[in-house]
Amino acid sequence: MNLRLDLHRQRASHQSTLISVVINITLSILQLVVGVFAQSTALIADAFHSLSDLISDGVVLVVNKHSHAPADAEHPYGHHRFETAASIFIGALLLSVGGGMIWAGFSKLQSPELISRVHYLALVVALVALIAKELLFRYLMAVAKRVKSTMLAANAWHARSDAASSVVVAMGIIANLAGFPMADPLAALIVGAIILRMGWSFFFNSFHDLLDRSVDDETCLRISALLLETPGVLGFHDLRTRKMGDKIWVEVDLEMDGTLPIAKGHAIAADAKRRVMAGENVLDVMSHFDPVSPDSTIVTTPERPSIRKPDTRLP
């Protein structure tokens, strides 16, 4: 089942990214050519943003291939963190692009006498880019949610940042055409700031995933419910999770009747593992069998919280 899901995710990611590549190539060329012709700093900045999207797409295509490679002797846990590394790269790319745009826009503002009135064609291209990027964002995000891919989600938000920047670019061009020439480089500055902020968000979150950050509380609650629903599991403690790309690694101490034979306890643990892996995007569940009395009350501490099923009896 998990293998089929992984193959489905890989195909969906590959197809959606190829569509993004085509759109970004077209837009970056169109924006750059028209931006130079129309003398629009903001549109040229937007062109480089589209170009960064194209590089991001290339990273996704490469990582999509390698992250689904099976575990080997050097990578016994698989290659899932290729996706996290890719998200860090995308974040760093956005940081560099945003910083470059801010520098270019600021330099332009130092010589206001050199700022010229842009051609109206720049506004047409900015609006076309806005519509294309917003549609691309909605498509990529729908695919990312369907296959539960954080890497595709990062790429989708990259497209949304381009759509947001196109709004600013269009407003700057309109103001320039209305007789405010400094509006165009100011728009380039705002676009750079938007990209810089989004790049930091991607980089920061992915960096923490590499440091074995746990999943969110809502996901932990769902995993807890799946464990407690398993017949024979009286409770559990020391539930720990960590992100492995888009997968989750789970470790938990399961509490079972201490009079059970080892084979029965193993079967219950295997059932709990199967339920969790079927219900969530979990790579593996490592469990430890803690023998308890069904009638006992476990003493809990903040360091060792225990979640029990009330009045649970084995069938």
Q: What is the pLDDT of residues 235-257, one digit of tens each?
A: 888 888 887 766 788 999 998 88
pLDDT at 60: 65
Asked if residue 24 and residue 158 are part of one domain, the reply reads yes
Q: Which of 210, 230, 257 is the last residue of a domain?
A: 210
Closest CA to 97 of 25, 169, 197: 197
Would you state the torsion angle of the CA atoms of residues 104, 110, 116, 117, taken in this order, to the nearest 10 degrees?
Answer: 80
pLDDT at 313: 45
Asked if residue 290 and residue 165 are part of one domain, the reply reads no
Does residue 274 carry a pLDDT above 80?
yes
Quick check: is 181 in a domain? yes
Break the chain down into helix, strand, coil percent, rounded to 5: 65, 10, 20
Closest CA to 48 of 5, 105, 106, 118: 105
63-72, 215-224, 226-235, 295-304: least confident range: 295-304
Question: For residue 294, what is the enclosing H or E element?
Answer: none
Asked if residue 265 and residue 174 are part of one domain, the reply reads no
Asked if residue 246 and residue 290 are part of one domain, the reply reads yes
pLDDT band at 267 (very low <50, low <70, confident <90, very high): very high
Closest CA to 119 of 46, 43, 47: 43
Task: State the CATH number of the domain containing residue 299.
Answer: 3.30.70.1350
pLDDT band at 218 (very low <50, low <70, confident <90, very high): confident
Q: Which residues contact 163 (CB under 8 A, 6 or more apart)?
A: 130, 133, 134, 137
Q: Which of 210, 245, 270 is the last residue of a domain?
A: 210
Question: For residue 252, what is the enclosing H or E element?
Answer: strand 247-257
Q: Which residues contact 269 (CB under 8 A, 6 or more apart)?
A: 254, 287, 289
Predicted TM-score (pTM) of the model is 0.54
Task: State the CATH number of the domain containing residue 97.
Answer: 1.20.1510.10
Does residue 22 carry a pLDDT above 80?
yes
Quick check: is 230 in a domain? yes
Asked if residue 120 and residue 93 are part of one domain, the reply reads yes
Asked if residue 172 and residue 248 are part of one domain, the reply reads no
Closest CA to 271 of 222, 211, 227, 225: 227
Q: Which of 210, 228, 243 is the last residue of a domain?
A: 210
State whether residue 154 is helix, strand or coil. Answer: helix
Task: Report the domain count for the chain.
Answer: 2
Asked if residue 127 and residue 81 are part of one domain, the reply reads yes
Asked if residue 43 and residue 118 are part of one domain, the reply reads yes
State pLDDT tens for residues 97-145: 778 778 877 777 776 666 677 888 988 998 998 899 889 889 988 888 8
Asked if residue 262 and residue 165 are part of one domain, the reply reads no
Asked if residue 186 and residue 239 are part of one domain, the reply reads no
pLDDT at 101: 74
Task: Judge whether 63 and 86 are in contact, CB under 8 Å.
Answer: yes
Query: What is the average pLDDT score of the chain?
Result: 77
pLDDT at 110: 73
Domain limits at 265?
A: 217-308
Asked if residue 195 and residue 279 are part of one domain, the reply reads no
State pLDDT tens for residues 148-205: 776 677 777 777 777 777 888 888 888 888 888 888 778 878 878 877 887 887 787 7
